[in-house]
Amino acid sequence: MQVAEKERKRLAARFEKISGIAGGIVALLSFLVVLGWYVDIEPFKHPFGTSVSFGVALVYFVFGTIVALDAFAPNSKALSIGKLIVVGLLSVMAAAKCVEGVVGTDWDFLSINLSFNSERMVPLVYPGVMTPDTALVQALVGITYLLMDFLQKARVQIWQWLAVTVIALCMIPVFGFILGDTNLCSLWGCVRMPVAFAITSIGLEFAMLAARPERGFTSALIEPDLLGTAMRQSLFSAMILLPLFAEAKAVFVHFGIFDEGLAKSGLGIAFMFVFLGTVMYQFVFAYKSEQNMRRNTEQRLQDLSSQFSQSQAENTFGFGGKAWRIAKCAKCEKEFESNTKLCPYDDRPLDIHDALIGQVLEGKYKVLDFLGRGGMSTVYKVEHLLLSKTLAIKFLQLQFVSKGESVLRFQREGKAMARLQHPNLCTVTECSIIEGVPYLIMEFLQGVSLDEILKEEKRLSARRTVEIMLQVADGLQHAHDENIVHRDIKPSNIMMTPLDDGGEFAKVVDFGLARIMDSDDQKLSQTGEAFGSPLYMSPEQCLGNPIDARTDIYGLGCVIYECISGNVPFRGKTFMETFNLHINGELKPFAKGLDVPPGLSQLVERMLAKDPIDRPSSMTEVKEALTSVLQTWQKVSS
């Protein structure tokens, strides 16, 4: 699992706890108001210097308690249903009270006496007296909670927008109180809700937003980058400063420390100065922290680079740092890179000279043959002399040995593959460094890649494709279970080995995205914000957004589509055009002549959905769908 994804999960868990704390604070404040009305304690009845009615405080005590329970108490189905029923009833009562105020009537059935004392001069009534704006906000707070529960999987988180709307509405009387302007007109002539009610409403809506930060626009708050850090800290500062300044003004005016006029101007200016200064400080602090982290990372990479460069300069397999595989012209005897085909001076085919073949490395690995070269690695066939076993050795190419970042990526691949033990995944048995050059020892795979098969056969039958992809999906599910995302699923990373019974065995190779772009071929991986192979990259990869296992599902969908149709689903003339097609392009359905079952066609469409939410949730779901298609064929054939 990526570090960024772990950090997002940690921040989401932290927000959930903060949600419970905020709900608990609202419940406590509301309880004190309710207690003040029952035992007649005046300061409790007037938080922030404004009176809060018994009915309003009672409802928010219930709301705050429910939000706190969501965060800290074990949840059961019965408890969840009970909470929804309670919130629903209280919201309906508040909405009815709002209608009562708008039409100017007095409905007696909306008054429930909770005094428990018939001799009390002022009965404690629920919902009691409320202005229409107070009743409306209370109803909207309850509706926000209900929508948050019912629309958890909705693409558009409507409840979040409703919460922000309520917060904006409640900000009006809070700012008016702090700045000394109590006539901020907005609704039914002016917003008349008590400032204490407005602050607790803001607190409740904030608690609900913090309870579900993974989806919708609040997901920006759990990003571990500079902007996310600054937004989090600014939001927490605002939630502390608002009630602090409101209470400060109430105390100063009540005890005569400042008169109303001085409090109006002085506290208003002080609030704006402190608030803006705090926000600016948070952004500067986040920027400096990220810069320090970047400098530390660069220093670490530079140290690694120096270490490997020094080792390489001393000796690289005894060749003084020279490339061990070269192309040489027999006529002019000039040497070129091994991938050069013709001599540029006399147009003659070049001979390959590989000084590694025949060498014994680490006293046990005898190099037998050259297998291939990728973007940043070279693979040889070797024999383990002590075990008499054929293996493959993968070297980081010499031009990348001095680059610390490339070394770290190569080592990350080794660590990822070493954790995976599955018949459909290529396994790594050793990861080390020989004379300054990192290498991996892997199992030797006999066969050809799926990419080579497609080049020769153009396309595969739907049934053969399903049989191959079931194996690939099984291997990838194991990787996902180990919190490893391949990120570069494509035909060239699927090796096919023929079996004695005529079948085929598939293995997924090249974990860790150990390739960088070194040509204009769109099938090569590239460095930058968007990692992957453009023809098979998911929309979130193209945008450089966070990824998860569903990225591999999209890549596998591209491979299935190519196997059956003979063409990749999206191909542009340039990288950027290909990216745009992945993000916005419309998928062409399979041609009717390909005889693709409806179940398989629908599965591929889901796997290639633009939004990860619309794709199958896991490779297990993909395997189940492929198995269902295969079983249908088997029933028909039997």
Q: pLDDT at position 116, please? A: 62
> What number is the average pLDDT over the span 6-26?
86
Q: pLDDT digits over 297-343, tens only?
A: 556 555 545 544 444 443 345 444 456 778 888 888 788 777 778 88
Q: pLDDT at position 499, please? A: 83
The H or E element that residue 199 is part of is helix 195-211
Q: pLDDT at position 101, please? A: 81
565 or 408, higher pLDDT: 565
**pLDDT band at residue 514 under the 50/70/90 scheme:** very low
Q: pLDDT at position 518, please? A: 33
pLDDT exceeds cutoff 90 at 40: no
Sign of CA dihedral 531, 532, 533, 539: negative
- % of the chain exceeding 70 in pLDDT: 78
Q: pLDDT at position 416, please? A: 74
126 or 275, higher pLDDT: 126
Strand partners, 507: 495
Sign of CA dihedral 615, 457, 637, 471: negative
* Pairing of the two strands 335-337 and 360-361: unpaired
Nearest to 496 by CA among 534, 532, 465, 528: 465
Q: pLDDT at position 366, please? A: 93
Q: pLDDT at position 608, please? A: 95
Helix axes 195-211, 226-254, angle to 10 degrees: 160
> What number is the average pLDDT over the span 37-64?
83
Nearest to 31 by CA among 40, 19, 44: 44
Contact yes or no for 313/321 (Cβ under 8 A): yes
Q: pLDDT at position 477, please? A: 93
Q: pLDDT at position 52, please? A: 81
Q: What amino acid is encoded at 591 in this protein?
A: A
Q: pLDDT at position 555, please? A: 95
- C-alpha–C-alpha distance, residues 242 and 235, integer Å: 11
Q: pLDDT digits over 444-478, tens only?
A: 888 889 999 999 999 999 999 999 999 999 999 99
- C-alpha–C-alpha distance, residues 538 and 547, integer Å: 9
Q: What is the pTM of this model?
A: 0.49
208 or 125, higher pLDDT: 208
Q: pLDDT at position 368, please? A: 93
- C-alpha–C-alpha distance, residues 433 and 394, integer Å: 11
Distance of CA 1 to the CA centre of its chain: 11
Q: pLDDT at position 529, please? A: 41
User: E-assigned strands of 220-358?
Assistant: 325-328, 335-337, 351-354
**pLDDT band at residue 63 under the 50/70/90 scheme:** very high
Q: What is the mean pLDDT of the chain?
A: 79
> What number is the average pLDDT over the span 5-13?
79
* Pairing of the two strands 377-384 and 365-373: antiparallel
2 φ/ψ angles, rounded to the nearest 5 degrees? -70, 150
**pLDDT band at residue 227 under the 50/70/90 scheme:** low
502 or 81, higher pLDDT: 81
Choice among 62-66, 89-93, 230-234, 330-334 with the minimum mean pLDDT: 230-234
Q: Is 524 exposed, middle or buried (0-12, 13-18, 19+ CB in 10 A)?
A: middle
Q: pLDDT at position 97, please? A: 86
Residue 127, preceding peptide bond in cis (omega within 30° of 0): yes
Q: Which range, 71-80, 463-472, 629-638, has the best average confidence (pLDDT)?
A: 463-472
First and final C-alpha spacing in the chain = 44
**pLDDT band at residue 382 under the 50/70/90 scheme:** very high
- C-alpha–C-alpha distance, residues 443 and 591, integer Å: 39
Backbone dihedral region for residue 629 (phi beyond 0: left; psi -120 to 50: alpha; all else: beta): alpha
pLDDT exceeds cutoff 50 at 414: yes
352 or 31, higher pLDDT: 31
Q: pLDDT at position 377, please? A: 80
> What number is the average pLDDT over the span 394-402?
81
Q: pLDDT digits over 246-300, tens only?
A: 767 666 666 666 555 555 556 666 666 666 676 676 666 666 666 666 666 556 5
Catalytic residues: 488
Q: Which range, 166-170, 474-478, 498-502, 518-522, has the best average confidence (pLDDT)?
A: 474-478
Contact yes or no for 105/71 (Cβ under 8 A): no
Q: pLDDT at position 188, please? A: 43
Q: pLDDT at position 311, please? A: 43
Q: pLDDT digits over 567-577, tens only?
A: 999 998 888 88
Strand partners, 337: 326
Helix axes 77-103, 54-72, angle to 10 degrees: 150
> What number is the average pLDDT over the span 23-28?
91
> What number is the average pLDDT over the span 433-452?
87
